[in-house]
Amino acid sequence: MPLDHPLNSLGFAKPPSETRVVVAMSGGVDSSVVAAMLAEEGYDVVGVTLQLYDHGAALAKKGACCAGRDIHDARRVAEEMNFPHYVLDYENTFKEAVIDEFADSYLAGATPVPCIRCNERVKFKDLLETAKDLDADCMATGHYIQRMMGDAGAELHSAADASKDQSYFLFSTTPEQLDYLRFPLGHHASKEQTRELARKYGLALADKPDSQDICFVPNGNYASVIEKLRPGAAEPGDIVDVDGNVLAQHNGVIHYTIGQRRGLGIGGLATPLYVVKLDVDKKHVIVGPKELLTTRTVPVREINWLGDGAFDDVAERHIAVKVRSTKPPMEAVVRPLSATTAEVELLTPEEGVAPGQACVFYDNDSSRIFGGGWIWRGY
């Protein structure tokens, strides 16, 4: 093979037909379009779908990825586009790496984001290793995020369509994983562009709705899932104010989240009360005025740094951060405490910053993502 062969669309100096790519197929429109697009371009495509939880229960469930219906849809796309497709049983791995931690952290009063752990510990770890075992040159996914080449190697950048950007859920992607991963949809201007491609390829799922829920949490009802995973978790206790005065009773700390106002069963007060803290050991839901939800200081640990140089080689970094997936990045000063821990100062105070959520780092002057870490209590 001549060394001066032009780079193909995935960045390899060889023809697409000699480039094997494993596509992580959830059965949704996005990953299906990626697989179909690469197959049409002539790549040696291998589709892989993960069965992440009980198949029987999945069959009756809508609105989440990796369910039985989705496995069928992924297989059908592979048949239509004529490439091999495999279903891998990752149920035990998923339970150990994602579901158990979700249950434990939720019981500890945190607000976990299991989709990040799934990407980090299952899709971009075990599945990525499987792709390498299949002698694939790279692994492609349907995530809306961009991989760009910089002076020091591959960089992570926000998607062109800000409304679909998934950078919050992919901050823990390591430099080594980023070298191997490809995100063909990240430059699309809109989701409609992806659906148009699905129609072009004749895919039956072109108008399939996007998944909304966490795949193992039907209808967003976290508490019901936790009760099944950890029997006895919904033990009653007291709703108290910040001085410890009992205001009402509750039927389980797991039914409450930081910042919650409705459903407290406390009426007739001049000032509305919000959940400001959860004390699992005492079975207390602690409530207070809205201003107690506001904070400037956010302790962060388990930091994955994707910027240039070592994370802790400077005293502070002036960047932007996201402390929840639904809000735009805000200006902040990040002060490293070690290679993997930091104190983040928000220049504008934010309400409802909750342990268990991610704090993702962004460049103020470009679309680049510098990684991020996990918010914790700091004590």
pLDDT of residue 54: 61
58 within domain boundaries: yes
Which domain CATH number covers 330?
Answer: 2.40.30.10
Give pLDDT tens digits along the chain (379 positions): 455 789 999 999 999 999 999 999 999 999 999 999 999 999 999 999 998 876 444 334 444 444 578 889 999 999 999 999 999 999 999 998 999 999 888 888 788 888 999 999 899 999 999 999 999 999 999 999 999 999 989 999 999 999 999 999 999 999 999 999 999 999 999 999 999 999 999 998 888 888 766 777 867 778 888 888 888 778 899 999 999 999 999 988 888 888 889 889 887 778 889 999 888 889 999 999 999 999 999 999 999 999 999 999 999 999 999 998 888 999 999 999 999 999 999 999 998 788 999 999 999 999 999 999 999 985 4
Judge if 280 and 315 occupy the same domain. Answer: no
pLDDT of residue 56: 44
pLDDT of residue 182: 98
Judge if 144 and 276 occupy the same domain. Answer: no
4 within domain boundaries: no
Look up tokens 């409304």; give the residue.
Answer: 163
Give the residue from 149, 183, 201 where a domain finishes. Answer: 201
69, 217 in Cβ contact below 8 A?
no
Report helix angle 222-229 to 100-107, nearest 10: 110
Judge if 73 and 104 occupy the same domain. Answer: yes
pLDDT of residue 108: 82
Judge if 144 and 116 occupy the same domain. Answer: yes
Which two structure tokens, joined as six digits, stand for 349? 């105070």
Q: Is 50 annotated as a binding residue?
A: yes
pTM across the whole model:
0.89
216 within domain boundaries: no
165 within domain boundaries: yes
Which domain CATH number covers 150?
Answer: 3.40.50.620
Judge if 304 and 280 occupy the same domain. Answer: no
Using DSSP bridges, classify how beta strands 358-362 and 145-150 pair: parallel, antiparallel or unpaired: unpaired
Does residue 215 have an active-site annotation? yes
265 within domain boundaries: yes
pLDDT of residue 349: 93
Q: Is 371 annotated as a binding residue?
A: no
Judge if 318 and 272 occupy the same domain. Answer: no
Judge if 179 and 152 occupy the same domain. Answer: yes
User: Phi and psi of 53, rounded to 5°?
Assistant: -155, 175
Q: Is 28 annotated as a binding residue?
A: yes
144 within domain boundaries: yes
pLDDT of residue 1: 47
Judge if 88 and 172 occupy the same domain. Answer: yes
Residue in 163, 211, 216, 227 with CA at minimum distance from that of residue 189:
163
The amino acid present at 318, given as its one-letter code, is H
Judge if 284 and 299 occupy the same domain. Answer: no
241 within domain boundaries: yes
Which domain CATH number covers 279?
Answer: 2.30.30
pLDDT of residue 50: 92
Judge if 96 and 43 occupy the same domain. Answer: yes
217 within domain boundaries: no
Q: Which domain holds residue 324?
A: 294-375
Using DSSP bridges, classify how beta strands 284-288 and 274-279 pair: parallel, antiparallel or unpaired: antiparallel
Total number of domains in the chain: 3
Q: Is 128 annotated as a binding residue?
A: no
Q: Is 1 annotated as a binding residue?
A: no
SS (H, E, C) the chain: CCCCCCCCCCCCCCCHHHCEEEEECCCCHHHHHHHHHHHHCCCEEEEEEEECCCHHHHHCCCCCCCCHHHHHHHHHHHHHHCCCEEEEECHHHHHHHHHHHHHHHHHCCCCCCHHHHHHHHHHHHHHHHHHHHCCCCEEECCCCEEEEEECCEEEEEECCCCCCCCHHHCCCCCHHHHHHEECCCCCCCCHHHHHHHHHHCCCCCCCCCCCCCCCCCHHHCHHHHHHHHCCCCCCCEEEEECCCCEEEEECCHHHCCCCCCCCCCCCCCCCCCEEEEEECCCCEEEEECHHHHEEEEEEEEEEEECCCCCHHHCCCEEEEEECCCCCCCEEEEEEECCCCCEEEEEEEEEECCCCCCEEEEECCCCCEEEEEEEECCCC
Active-site position among 115, 138, 215, 359: 215
Judge if 239 and 188 occupy the same domain. Answer: no
Active-site position among 115, 118, 138, 359: 118
Judge if 283 and 299 occupy the same domain. Answer: no
